[in-house]
Amino acid sequence: MCGIFGFAGRASRPDRDFLKKAVDSFSYRGPDDEGFYLNADSTVGLAHKRLSILDLSAAGHQPMSDESKTRWTVFNGEIYNFLEIKEDLEKDGARFSSTSDTEVLLYAYKKWGSQCVSRFNGMFAFGIYNSKRGKLFLARDRMGKKPLFYALAGGNLVFASELKAILSTGFVPFEVDPSALNFYFALGYAPNDKSMIRGVRKLPPGFSMEFDIASGKAEVKQYWDAPAFEGPHDEDRALEEIEEILVDSVKKRLMSDVPLGAFLSGGIDSSLVVAFMRRVHNGEIKTFSVGFEGSSKNELRYASLVARHFGTTHKEIMVKADMGDLERISGLLDEPIYDNSMLPTYYLCRHTRQDVTVALSGDGGDELFGGYIHYQSADTARRAGKFFFPPLNLLARAVSSRLREGAFGKNTLAGIGMGEKACFTYPTQIFREGERQRLLSTPPGKTELMAPRLFRESLMNAKNYDYINQMCYADIKTFMVDDILVKVDRASMFNSLEVRCPILDYRMAEYSFRHLPGVLKIRGGAKKYLLKKLAGKYLPAALDLERKQGFDIPGDTLGGNKSRVPQRLLDFGPNEFVSRPFIEALARDQISGRGHLWHKIFALYFFLRWLEACRG
């Protein structure tokens, strides 16, 4: 796990100081080593910060070249099947000087060119400079575990693991993209290839780019997408296939030259990961859980139950939500995301890093197997749809519009009023169209205001999926990659910890969409039907498989009416992006206890704190 940066183009000439300034902006991503490469005429520069995981020797140093010194790479991530690829390459005469997967990456590119990415099973973002062809090749893994930002201007290309590295160079000015800001206040993140800064984009998951240095032109291609539904597998066969994939996925992710452990919440996903770690590993397994002092949202007893069942060395961390930590973390973010679990995830990573350098997690189970409440709500609405008719929809919509923000039942009535798909699209909007019209200092037009919902609906209608799988697909393309995985990447990297997600192995994603109909994900209103069946085979009988608690900050700890976050909103100075009167009214409503508005409060806080940090 590392941080990467690169530049290519003939209009400017980067030097070592330029490269170092960029990677120093995210030095926490690689505390073990750093490296720089400049070609002869300074039209290409690469820089790397290393967190050593495989081949801890100097042979794993980056930027790394092949034996001819014509191909150079900076690589962030892990290729879990690199030993199989290495064996194939050795049969063709390749000779390796390290035990690093980075060197395998280089020789795979040498043999297969841009098609090499289709052979990798892993999480990755990398750049490869090919001096013979005068091109720079970029790629990002299928599920979007590793970030990759880029900007094109004046015939030049710059790319980096984090947005702040690009900003630190002055390559693009600090100018907030109004479209991304609109999406942020609707969804809590800038989706797909958008970033919060105008002119900077994200390379989407499953995409690659080839940049021609002479012409300054870039070609972006998609090399992977979730497959179309081909036909259902029966329940017994599906259970066998899922188990086989997950066991192999866990096994591949135990590859490490540094201490390794696992997050353990006591939920289905992380518990299954630990169960299969125990199956394939007879030695010590270290597991880690976090809980908040004085909070009812505490699942440590379930995590402890699982840890005892599988004989892990378990560490429970009790923390107190601290405003100073929230200020520091939100100030480190390269762009704002609204996720109330950022702080507990940070605490979990911080304490885990004291014992291990790599941790496995259960991320991906909700998105691939139907674990969110909006899947359940949509399924319930669909089954009960025959009881709704247009006059009732209109009445529900009218009543909802008259209720104040935070009022009990407002979102439920709004969902009924807007139809069954609103059970998915409507609640995801933190600030709805009318609110964003008042919040944003330069309100977007009607089409832009509707964009978040239309964007989601266009994804939901993709391929030939049933309704549940449409929602799963939309989530892996938006919420998972631009919120969940960003949160985990930044929280772990702030602590120089690598996190691996076995459930997000691309083979699991392909199987889930190709052969699992919605009825094996949501059945009778129950979430994660098939995964619970698998859990029932291996997890302790005393574990409550039906519970679902969010991994977030207790609302009354930092976001409640007596807490500091609403008050902090009143301390931020005015700016040109959001309405000061709107924010003041919202904060005072929360402080006075007139509304349950903490999600809006936190969304505003993360944006304003990010803006404050960027402007110094």
| CB-based contact 530:235 (threshold 8 Å) | yes
Cα angle 598, 604, 606; round to 5:
100
Give the torsion sign (CA, 45, 46, 49, 55): negative
Beta strands in 24-104 (DSSP E): 33-38, 44-50, 64-65, 71-79
The Cα–Cα gap between 593 and 596 comes to 7
State how beta strands 2-8 and 44-50 pair. Answer: antiparallel
Residue 37, beta-bridge partner list: 46
Long-range contacts of 301-305 (CB under 8 A, 24+ apart): 301/266, 302/265, 302/266, 302/267, 302/543, 302/544, 302/547, 303/264, 303/265, 303/266, 304/266, 305/266, 305/540, 305/542, 305/543
Distance between CA atoms of residues 521 and 531, nearest Å: 8
Q: Which of 544, 473, 503 is nearest to 243 (CA)?
A: 503
Q: Do 551 and 341 form a contact (C-beta atoms < 8 A)?
A: yes
Is 2 an active-site residue?
yes
Closest-CA residue to 206 (of 194, 193, 218): 193
Residues sharing a CB contact under 8 Å with residue 482, sequence separation 6 or more, in sequence order: 144, 189, 190, 191, 192, 337
Query: Does residue 227 have a cis peptide bond before it, meaning omega lies within 30 degrees of 0?
Result: no
Give the 3-state secondary structure of residue 197. Answer: strand
CA separation for the pair 220, 178 (Å, rounded): 24
Q: Which residues are catalytic?
A: 2
